């Protein structure tokens, strides 16, 4: 006998909770909210913070080549504003509660009127259907545990932190005392996974009319998370996440058709990622101290730890046979990246909260060079980055913990450091396919931001 998934229940809901109000003439609860903020920032010349908000963007020496000349990057300061707006609805039905969320953001800094409205979230959530909760649409990835992400200014992305929002179908089932398991199918094209060229004898002699491209496949990413939350306090808990991603690349001609070249023209490889995260109250702090930990490992799935120098480069593409272009192109290896992040947050009073932390990340791409002395002979490209940060947030109008966060002033200070292996400088960044023994390979830099924000 099959049990019906339909579970009739009383259609009763109070709208006054969490800022929701009842729409006149309906049974739908509505909430409109968002935030508006000004962010002012300053950074040393080695860190072009406006272009790259994470420490991997620091440029050793603070200069780059331009028209065969060395141009210095000056110390920089600037400001920008952003606004975020969301609309949420709730409705009780005999099938369970139905919720929907639409959220967008606007940014601008140098025009009288400007800045596009960009979609952050758009999803429908069914609560209590088939003994669980369902999400359909663009939302935070199942891979992410937002509890382990520390507080810092919008101008930065802390090394080791990650944020993913993408289209998905997710099912979550709660069980036991605070446990939940979620499984989802998520858009495989998030962050546009790419390939990096091999070097040396495996270098693919890629003509402009025959590039290597990511071929959108029919298999979405499979993502799952097992989590535990402290009963009565969901800000405290532990989670383990995993993801599988299929890398599928091919050579194409100028018209998008298969490239008219000899040898192999397509290849695929499975990538995967895992994350452990935790947030727990520090001992002897009366629940005012919160420790946050996060560790990520990605092999052929860099988009799950995307804030790294190689972004979403998942694989190394090169000749199938060294020195033989007629053999065609193949996936030679995968790009790996791992990171750890730890932070401590303490609430001195409802008006004052401070956070300190450090994040470290390592990215490696085996480029299979056979001549390490040649100009294109980088054997294995690697970059290490870390970020030490501290900030303090003030809410002058907070009278108790529930009201905190409505208006905040945040002062955020960062020291970032980057170190490159086996690479040289070209353009305004290090190129993993070049070797330059004279190039400076490491650099540290300071940056700071002041963020004034109103949440409503």
Residue-wise pLDDT for 225-239, tens only, equals 999 999 988 889 999
Same domain for 95 and 164?
Answer: no
DSSP, collapsed to helix, strand or coil, labels residue 398 as coil
Are 222 and 368 part of one and the same domain?
A: yes
Domain match, 362 and 260 both: yes
Instruction: Tell me if 79 is assigned to some domain.
Output: no
Whether 410 is covered by a domain: the verdict is yes
* Predicted confidence (pLDDT) at residue 58 exceeds the cutoff of 80: yes
Q: Assess whether 363 and 443 both reside in one domain.
A: yes
Strand residues in 96-161 grouped as ranges (E): 96-108, 117-129, 132-140
The two tokens of residue 222 are 């499979």
Residue 10's pLDDT is 41
| Residue 155 main-chain phi, psi, to 5 deg | -70, -15
- Report if pTM > 0.75: yes
Asked if 397 and 444 sit in the same domain, the reply is yes
Q: Which residue has the tokens 């008006």?
A: 351
On whether residue 81 sits in a domain, the answer given is: no
Pair (368, 294) in one structural domain: yes
Residues 161 and 301 in one domain: yes
Same domain for 108 and 225, yes or no, is no
Instruction: Tell whether 145 and 218 lie within a shared domain.
Output: yes
Angle, CA 423 vertex, CA 419 and CA 425 arms, to 5°? 95
60 and 31 within one domain:
no
Distance CA 244, CA 424 (A): 33
Q: What share of the chain in percent tops pLDDT 90?
A: 51
Give the chain's mean pLDDT: 85
Q: Is residue 106 located within the same domain as residue 149?
A: no
Q: Are strands 69-72 and 21-22 parallel, antiparallel or unpaired?
A: unpaired
Residue 83 lies in a domain: no
Confirm whether 446 is domain-assigned.
yes
User: Does residue 135 lie within any of the structural domains?
Assistant: no
Task: Read off the pLDDT of each residue in 70-96 and give the average, rounded to a whole number.
Answer: 84
For residue 206, pLDDT beyond 80: no
Residue 443's domain comprises: 44-74+141-455
User: Domain check: are 368 and 291 in the same one?
Assistant: yes
Q: Is residue 178 part of a domain?
A: yes
- Per-residue pLDDT of 208-224, as tens digits, reads 666 777 776 678 999 99
Domain count for the chain: 2
124 in any annotated domain: yes
């Amino acid at each position: 006998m099959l049990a019906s998934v339909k579970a009739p229940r009383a259609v009763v809901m109070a709208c006054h909770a969490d800022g929701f109000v009842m729409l006149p003439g309906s049974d739908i609860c509505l909430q409109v909210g968002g935030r508006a903020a000004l962010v002012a920032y300053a950074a040393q010349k080695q860190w072009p913070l406006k272009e790259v908000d994470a420490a991997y963007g620091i440029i050793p020496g603070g200069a780059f080549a331009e028209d065969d000349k060395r141009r210095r990057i000056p110390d920089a300061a600037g400001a920008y504003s952003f606004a975020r707006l969301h609309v949420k609805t709730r409705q009780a039905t005999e099938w369970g509660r139905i919720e929907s969320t639409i959220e967008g953001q606007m940014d601008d800094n140098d025009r009288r009127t400007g800045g596009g409205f960009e979609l952050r979230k758009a999803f429908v959530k069914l609560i209590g259907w088939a003994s669980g909760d369902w999400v359909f649409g663009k939302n935070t990835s199942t891979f992410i545990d937002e509890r382990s992400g520390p507080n810092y200014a919008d101008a930065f992305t802390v090394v080791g932190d990650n944020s993913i929002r993408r289209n998905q179908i997710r099912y979550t089932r709660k069980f036991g005392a605070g446990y939940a398991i979620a499984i989802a199918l998520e858009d495989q094209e998030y962050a546009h996974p790419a390939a990096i060229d091999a070097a040396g004898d495996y270098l693919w002699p890629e003509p402009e009319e025959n590039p290597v491209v990511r071929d959108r496949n029919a298999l979405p990413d499979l993502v799952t998370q097992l989590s535990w939350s402290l009963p009565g306090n969901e800000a405290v808990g532990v989670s383990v996440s995993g993801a599988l991603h299929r890398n599928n690349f091919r050579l194409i001609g100028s018209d998008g058709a298969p490239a008219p070249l000899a040898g192999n023209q397509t290849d695929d490889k499975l990538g995967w990622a895992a994350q452990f995260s935790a947030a727990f109250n520090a001992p002897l702090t009366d629940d005012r101290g919160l420790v946050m930990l996060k560790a990520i490992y990605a092999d052929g799935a860099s988009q799950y730890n995307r804030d790294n120098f190689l972004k979403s480069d998942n694989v190394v593409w090169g000749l199938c046979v060294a020195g033989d272009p007629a053999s065609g192109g193949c996936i030679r290896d995968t790009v790996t990246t791992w990171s750890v992040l730890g932070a401590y947050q303490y609430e001195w009073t409802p008006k004052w909260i401070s956070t300190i932390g450090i994040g470290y990340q390592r990215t490696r791409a085996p480029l299979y060079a056979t001549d390490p002395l040649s100009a294109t002979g980088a054997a294995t490209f690697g970059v290490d980055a870390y970020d030490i940060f501290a900030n303090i947030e003030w809410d002058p109008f907070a009278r108790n913990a529930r009201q905190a966060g409505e208006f905040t002033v945040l002062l955020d200070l960062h020291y970032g450091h980057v170190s490159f292996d086996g690479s040289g400088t070209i353009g305004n960044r290090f190129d993993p396919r070049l070797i330059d023994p004279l190039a400076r390979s490491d650099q540290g830099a300071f940056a700071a931001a002041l963020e004034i924000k109103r949440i409503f």
